[in-house]
């Protein structure tokens, strides 16, 4: 247990498999409805910005954690390869390890895919789902406003500038250089519609490095087996209240991916956060928190 800006923060490790421990953090009233934050590929739980976590923790018992091969969790892929679906099982194991029966789940990027797996496979554990910066785990075609349809494989792909950056080999020139490389990465992921706050992302990445204990770049999630993830039928019949956040500047899963996702998940609602891309800069915190809290509150009211 640590004190952080007047807030009590509980940190503990949860064993999700023999020899595999995940770092977790809980913030907010212990008797408030739980809200699980699920980060994207190769991203630690510390990637969720502090102001956003604090704002959510005013209403929820907020839980964030480090995936395997990130942050303070066990780095095991080289010796014990795993599947992406195992990361979804990890999220469930985190809830089990912390004694949480049901939680609101918020997922970003790969975290949005893991959240879909949870609401499809374990709907009894999910109070609501909020999905952002991700794509539908469904083969249902996208229906345009004019009624015409688009096959999933014809939806827009990742922006060329993102692909170009991802294709560059990462060379270790030291911690300072690595942090600057990550800032450049965030600039591209931001999408360009909002002013880029380099100082914010520099502070974020410094905290990530301090939290992790090193600046090495992980690649496990990009190499993990991503088979067996489609949940077309399960998403089409789910009763879990689902919110899809549309980021108009999204360069990884650009529109109409959010619209397609909202169609693929039964009863899903769509909300747009102006200027948002594939990042969480300060400018999107207020509207994003407002959208999430309105959704979790509505889900609680519906129950």
CB contact at 8 A, 105 and 128: yes
The whole-number pLDDT of residue 5 equals 47
Cα 239 to Cα 112, 119, 122: the distances in Å are 17, 9, 11
Q: The CATH number of the domain where 50 resides is what?
A: 3.40.50.1820
For residue 197, is it within any domain? no
Which residue segment(s) compose the domain that 133 sits in? 2-157+221-302
What's the distance, Cα to Cα, between the start and end of the chain in Å?
A: 33
| 174 inside domain | no
Residue 7's pLDDT is: 58
Residue ranges in the chain modelled with pLDDT below 70: 1-7, 303
- pTM value? 0.96
H/E stretch holding 186 reads helix 175-190
C-alpha dist (Å) from residue 229 to 88, 97, 141, 241, 246: 10, 24, 17, 20, 22
Q: Say how many domains are in the chain.
A: 1
The answer to the question of residue 16 being in a domain is yes
Q: DSSP states of 236-278 as a string?
A: HH--S-EEEEE-TT-SSS-TTHHHHHHHHSTT-EEEE-TT--S
Do the domain assignments include residue 148?
yes
The per-residue pLDDT for range 263-303, each reduced to its tens digit, is 999 999 999 999 999 999 999 999 999 999 999 999 987 76
pLDDT for 3: 45
Residue 166 lies in a domain: no
Residue 301's pLDDT is what?
73
Q: Which residues pair with 245 in a beta bridge?
A: 132, 271
Assigned domain for 114 exists: yes
With respect to residue 209, please indicate whether it lies within any of the assigned structural domains: no
Of the candidates 122, 109, 105, 131, the one whose C-alpha atom is nearest the C-alpha of residue 265 is: 131
Reported as a single tens digit per residue, the pLDDT across 82-118 is 999 999 999 999 999 999 999 999 999 999 999 999 9
- Residue 300's pLDDT is what? 80
In a domain, residue 172? The reply is: no
CA 27 to chain CA mean position, Å: 17
Which H helix or E strand runs over 175? Answer: helix 175-190
């Amino acid at each position: 247990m640590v004190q952080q800006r007047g807030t009590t923060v509980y940190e503990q490790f949860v064993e999700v498999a023999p020899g595999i421990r995940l770092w977790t953090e809980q913030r907010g009233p212990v008797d408030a409805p739980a809200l699980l934050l699920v980060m994207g590929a190769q991203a630690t739980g510390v990637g969720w910005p502090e102001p956003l976590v604090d704002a959510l923790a005013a209403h929820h018992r907020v839980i964030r954690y480090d995936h395997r091969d990130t942050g303070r969790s066990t780095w095991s892929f080289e010796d014990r390869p795993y599947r992406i679906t195992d990361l979804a099982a990890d999220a469930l194991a985190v809830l089990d390890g912390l004694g949480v029966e049901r939680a609101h789940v918020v997922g970003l990027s790969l975290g949005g895919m893991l959240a879909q797996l949870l609401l499809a496979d374990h709907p009894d554990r999910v109070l609501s789902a909020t999905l952002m910066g991700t794509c539908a785990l469904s083969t249902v075609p996208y229906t345009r406003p004019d009624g015409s349809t688009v096959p999933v494989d014809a939806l827009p792909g990742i922006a060329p500038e993102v692909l170009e950056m991802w294709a560059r080999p990462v060379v270790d020139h030291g911690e300072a250089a690595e942090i600057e490389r990550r800032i450049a990465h965030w600039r591209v992921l931001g999408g360009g519609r909002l002013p880029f706050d380099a100082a914010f992302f520099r502070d974020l990445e410094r905290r990530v490095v301090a939290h992790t204990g090193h600046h090495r770049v992980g690649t496990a999630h990009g190499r993990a087996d991503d088979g067996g993830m489609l949940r077309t039928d399960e998403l089409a019949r789910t009763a879990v209240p689902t919110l899809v956040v549309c980021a108009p500047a999204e360069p990884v899963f650009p529109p109409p991916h959010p619209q397609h996702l909202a169609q693929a998940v039964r009863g899903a609602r769509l909300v747009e956060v102006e200027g948002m891309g594939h990042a969480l800069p300060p400018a999107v915190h207020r509207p994003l928190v407002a959208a999430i809290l309105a959704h979790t509150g509505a889900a609680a009211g519906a129950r």
